[in-house]
Amino acid sequence: MNKKEIKKGIVPYVILIVIMLGVIYFFNILNIKVNDLTYDKFVSSLNNNEVKEIKVIPSIDGGVYNITGKLKDYKENESFKVVVPYSEEVIKQIITANEKYDFKFENQSDPNSSVWLVAVLNFLPIILIGVFFFVFLSKQVGGNNKSFDFGKSRAKLDDHQKKVTFNEVAGLKEEKEELHELIDFLKNPKRFQKLGARIPKGVLLVGPPGTGKTLLARAVAGEANVPFYYISGSDFVELFVGVGASRVRDMFNQAKHNAPCLIFIDEIDAVGRQRGTGLGGGHDEREQTLNQLLTEMDGFGANEGIIIIAATNRADVLDPALLRPGRFDRQVTVNLPDVKAREEILAVHARNKILAKDVTLTNLAKRTPGFSGADLENLLNEAALLAVRRNKEAITMSEIDEATDRVLMGPAKKSKKYTEEEKKLVAYHEAGHVVLGLKLNSANVVQKVTIIPRSYAGGYAMMVPKEEKYTQTKRELLEQITGLLGGRVSEELNFGEITTGAHNDFEKATKIARSMVTEYGMSDLGPVQLEHQSEGVFLGRDYNKSRNFSDIVAHEIDEEIRKIVGECYQKATEILKENKDLVKLIAEALMERETLTKEQIEYLVEHKELPKETELEDMTLEELKELAKEKDIKGYSKLNKEELIDLLRVNDVKPELEPSNTKEE
């Protein structure tokens, strides 16, 4: 808020205070009692020592003295006034009485200023009240006073100098194609009207948070080059009944004056929930607001040239009247990006960032399944912050890896110290996950594993699918459950004890098993859907499911879930028993290095030892460049030794060690 806005906000309060003071003064004047005295009474009081104070105001033009004052028996708010001839005798008489009785005497010498002062004081409250009403009315008419415009629309007109276009919206290929018709209509409406085509009045964007719904709507307005109004659904909701409906009317009135234009309502579920569920029944404020929105979208009023785009992640709770043709004609689902879309999104967010030679967006996209566009932007931003903190000139894979862990699990708790026993337990737990990921064809592959605590987790294994699929087989789901149970099984086999570290693994495994039984028909209960997942499955909420089975069937479901998890647990036990040496090898490597990447794990499995970290450091810069040339690695010639070592490690390049091994023997 700038100084001008601050001053503008203070002015009404200053005026209000001045008015209050003026009113107080005005009422004080009204409470004063003034007695008119005759000349004889005045002289008598003067001579009998009854006068307490006197003020003489000469009026030369009128040829009189205006005398005011108080008598000794008067109350606090009581006074007198008397008009006497303009004569020196009068003044002498007053002065003589004053010398004799010593009362308060004041002789006004500037009559003109006194007259003006009295006039100003008498009329000041009236003037201030007039000024107040003038300011009040002008604010009401102008609509700038936020204290009284609660019925005005809070929709903001996007006046950004730089318009967002589809070039800034990475991925979302199909979604952009769906919205191209809106752009064509906004640019050339007569082309559609000529053939009698009716363009959709509204488009509902449905999808998880952070997938780019708002950006997509802004890009439509930018491509069409039309005014773009944006508002949140919660801005319509107000304590006072009728305010929300008034705001809806005002918003459409504003849009009509700027047609063709686009209105974007974010989080429309705040005002568009199904009617009849509020405490106030049909008179609920939110429902009145919704009714007005329905009327404006498809009512008696003509809103030609106005297209509404709304966004929500709870389409299942919206009122059916909103979703019928003529209102929100189309629903466009904005899903999480696939690997190709993630690469495109990363390329957009990497435009203003300096990336090192070892950073490839293709590999980064493969390592971030399930990330939304907002997550990817946050990932690169976190990496940039880390690079600045480490005084680096470019963002390297080291910062990317750390940023990925931060986004998924929070910052590392390096100050938290393990006991040797705890460290060993965590290492064997994570090693169990790694081994099952290596031995099972359909289990999630461990991309990175660490025993450095993050958030509430003692260790962390980044497990990603081998490939992204839209459908999964029963075998794939069972192997995923088996992989999740690897940590607990490893604890039990190697220590004969179990810990609390597997609670998150059990949560995920049980969720998959329950879905197999109740939704996918992958159990002995047969191909029956016992629980219905409503729309918006990305929410991951149990309350989003409807139950349609008896208590007896509920018991059978529980038995089937336990059976599936138990069989997977047994399979995990068999695999880890067969590969006990491999579990030990990986666990010991984790205790040594604390963090292992996918490449290091593969090297460890193949060579039964970790690659020596000092191998490349022992080489000269010329030897490193020669090695990079032999391996056909691009961009090595201008790098220094440290940067070249990082590049070689990313490409999993190892120098030949036969001579040194011979010497050791």
Q: Which positions are catalytic?
A: 430
In 3D space, the residue among 435, 464, 559, 565 whose CA is nearest the CA of residue 509 turns out to be: 565
Query: Sheet harboring 460-464: ordered strands across?
Result: 460-464, 445-450, 595-597
DSSP assigned state of 457? B
Tokens in use for 511? 């969720």
- Half-sphere exposure at residue 571, Cβ-oriented, CA atoms within 13 angstroms: 19
CA of residue 445 relative to chain centroid, distance = 33
CA of residue 111 relative to chain centroid, distance = 68
Cα dist from 224 to 219, 254, 457, whole Å: 8, 19, 49
Residues facing residue 333 across a β-bridge = 206
What one-character-per-residue DSSP string does 47-93 give?
A: HTT-EEEEEEEEETTTTEEEEEEEETT--TTEEEEEEEES-HHHHHH
With tokens 């008397």, the residue in question is: 82
Computed from CA positions of residues 475, 559, 510, 433, in that sequence, does the dihedral angle turn out positive or negative?
A: negative
In 3D space, the residue among 297, 294, 289, 293 whose CA is nearest the CA of residue 241 turns out to be: 289
CA of residue 208 relative to chain centroid, distance = 14
In 3D space, the residue among 224, 309, 217, 222 whose CA is nearest the CA of residue 260 turns out to be: 224
* Dihedral (Cα; 86, 91, 94, 100), 10-degree rounding: -170
Element (H, E) at 157: strand 156-157
Sequence-separated (6 or more) residues with CB below 8 Å from residue 58: 65, 66, 86, 108, 109, 111
In 3D space, the residue among 204, 231, 221 whose CA is nearest the CA of residue 313 turns out to be: 204
Cα dist from 263 to 232, 269, 362, whole Å: 11, 16, 36
- Rounded to whole angstroms, how far apart are CA atoms 97 and 103? 8
Instruction: Centre a 10 Å sphere on the Cβ of residue 26 and count the other Cβ atoms it contains.
Output: 17
CA of residue 437 relative to chain centroid, distance = 37
Find out whether 175 and 334 touch, Cβ atoms under 8 Å: yes
For the chain, what is the largest distance between any 2 Cα atoms, rounded to a whole number of angstroms? 139
- Half-sphere exposure at residue 549, Cβ-oriented, CA atoms within 13 angstroms: 18
Tokens in use for 424? 């060993």
Burial 312-343 (b: 16+ CB within 10 A, else e): bbbbbebbebbbeeebbebbbbbbbbeeebbb
- Rounded to whole angstroms, how far apart are CA atoms 591 and 584? 10
Tokens in use for 81? 């006034």
- Rounded to whole angstroms, how far apart are CA atoms 626 and 629? 5
Instruction: Centre a 10 Å sphere on the Cβ of residue 375 and count the other Cβ atoms it contains.
Output: 20
Sequence-separated (6 or more) residues with CB below 8 Å from residue 240: 150, 285
Is the bond into 527 cis (omega within 30 degrees of 0)?
no
Sequence-separated (6 or more) residues with CB below 8 Å from residue 483: 433, 436, 437, 440, 443, 444, 463, 572
- Rounded to whole angstroms, how far apart are CA atoms 612 and 659? 15
